[in-house]
Amino acid sequence: MAVAPIPFQLPNITKLSVTSDKNQNLDRASRSIRFSVEQGAKLVVLPEMWNCPYSSDYFAKYAEDFDNRDASPTWSMLSEAACCHGITIIGGSLPEWDHGRLYNTCCIFGPDGKLKAKHRKIHLFDIDIPGEISFKESDTFTAGDQPTIVDTEVGRIGIGICHDIRFPELAALYRKRGVDIICYPGAFNMSTGELLWELVQRARAVDNQLFVATCSPSRNSTGSYTIWGHSTLVGPSGEIIVTSGHEETTVIAEIDYSNIQLQRKSLPLDDQKREDIYKFIDVHELNP
């Protein structure tokens, strides 16, 4: 999809302080979206698991069946907000029930309020660092099995959720399919966040010469899982365009997609790749 080199406002609706009161979370998100629109936003990105605390004790309780709209207040709020304000919303992620299975799901809504795409987290986060953190997302959620690319009024967007960002193969696939920006709602913890959160964002952006946007809940969110925070927009040369701390805030930045082509023209990585060599490498020869 061709994208004109016209700047637009992209706010990361970041650091939403998530509470155990679902209605309060919905109201806070709705007000944040409205504030962003007043600042000129055309694309709004919400955090991972913003309608409930990030805890296995809450996921099933707060989950919604998106096919049952009358029982899906989060889905309805996002749809109505997108339509009311005429914007595209990357709806963070929500716990979704579907045929008896629980998914970590991101819904993307267009300016008409209709669902444009739905991404289910592909790579589930299981970690065990003795003395620091032990968490198994796979005990609760079912993994998604499809990448998600959506054409919008503000460009071609690839979607990942949190741990999806650790896998460069997914980002490379999005690059090959013409994505302009990858949006990753995420909730890295204190251990992995300090070491890796900024690093992997910049790596995905610079390796693929595109934009990367991340959005996290605030660190003071309710739940036993302590969140690192720090939402960021990274440009195609790996530069940080804007970032935040760990507190609740709204980050707004301007994107110019022409910078993607400028970067790729200056450093034509696709032309320099040696697929003829990569596909014949035997890993056992490299690591005898």
DSSP labels, 202-245? HHHHHHHTSEEEEE---TT-SSSS-B----EEE-TTS-EEEE--
pTM higher than the cut 0.85: yes
162 as an active site residue: the answer is yes
Please give the C-alpha separations between residue 167 and each of 64, 204, 211, 264, in angstroms, as whole numbers.
28, 9, 16, 22
22 as an active site residue: the answer is no
Q: What pLDDT, in 10s, does the model give residues 58-104?
A: 999 999 999 998 899 999 999 999 999 999 999 999 999 999 999 99
Residue 43: φ, ψ to 5° = -135, 125
Contact by Cβ (8 Å): 49, 187 = yes
| Active-site pick, 15, 116, 118, 121 | 121
| pLDDT mean over 123-137 | 87
Judged against a pLDDT cut of 90, whether residue 288 lies above it is answered with: no
| Active-site pick, 162, 183, 215, 248 | 162
| pLDDT mean over 108-125 | 97
| Active-site pick, 15, 42, 48, 107 | 48
| pLDDT mean over 229-236 | 91
Judged against a pLDDT cut of 50, whether residue 135 lies above it is answered with: yes
